[in-house]
Amino acid sequence: MPTARLRIAYDGSRFAGWADQPGQRTVQAELESGLERILGERIDLTVAGRTDAGVHATGQVASFEYGRELPDRPAERLNAVLPRDLAVLEAAPAADGFDARRSAKARVYRYRVLTSTVRDPLEERRALWWRYPVDRDLLDAAAAAVVGNHDFTAFTPTQTEHVLFERTVDACAWEAERDGVLALRIEALSFMRNQVRVLVGTMLEVGGGRRSLEELTALLNGAPRDAAGETAPPHGLYLTEVKY
């Protein structure tokens, strides 16, 4: 059967995450329902990254097999039946054998932090409001320490489906988006649940002088979860790109 590829964006605020869950509003369920309406057949989506409740996406990728011919302008037709907080940016046939999850070479996440003593209502569901002082040099050093292959046991929940805790982070750096807004860009082949959010929470402790850089580095050797920092809230996190 032929395969199609979707590039997707969504505001995760009112979704219970990507994955279909009985009785919950999810991105997967909304998309599969919309696809069934325009294609006339049941569709099962494979996704590059299963985002949690409240997490946003600007470059999520999903794939599916289909038996009937795709209509003209499939993205436009699909967006006409999707809710306002979910959109398909691109929809097109994919190469034989393409799988949104297994074919991925890297996933890129971005975590946005509003570093201001005054909250910004326009960033209320878009960035973590961090009213405390942060040392940008310490944040940069913390991000640099994360690059490479490490045991990230300290950065995922204790009760987890993961068996292997080593991950290789290809890139990790803080960037200034605009005055008062910093964003952590992090890239790896795969991430564990909450990994980016716990890294952000721990890095903010380093940037605020509550934890040393050496303490963060020691966490990368398989320390227990309770040794790391708080899990940053989901609304600052975005899946921005999947590389193939």
- Residues identified as active-site: 52
Q: Scan for tokens 């290809």, then name that residue.
A: 170
What is the separation of C-alpha 37 from the centre of its chain, rounded to a whole number of angstroms?
28
Q: What are the Cα distances from residue 97, in Å, to 65, 82, 176, 179, 189?
A: 10, 27, 39, 44, 19
Tell me the C-alpha distance between 184 and 204, whole Å. Answer: 11
Does residue 21 contact residue 30 with C-beta atoms inside 8 Å?
no
Name the amino acid, one letter, at 145: A
DSSP strands (E only) in 66-225: 86-93, 106-115, 128-130, 148-151, 166-178, 181-188
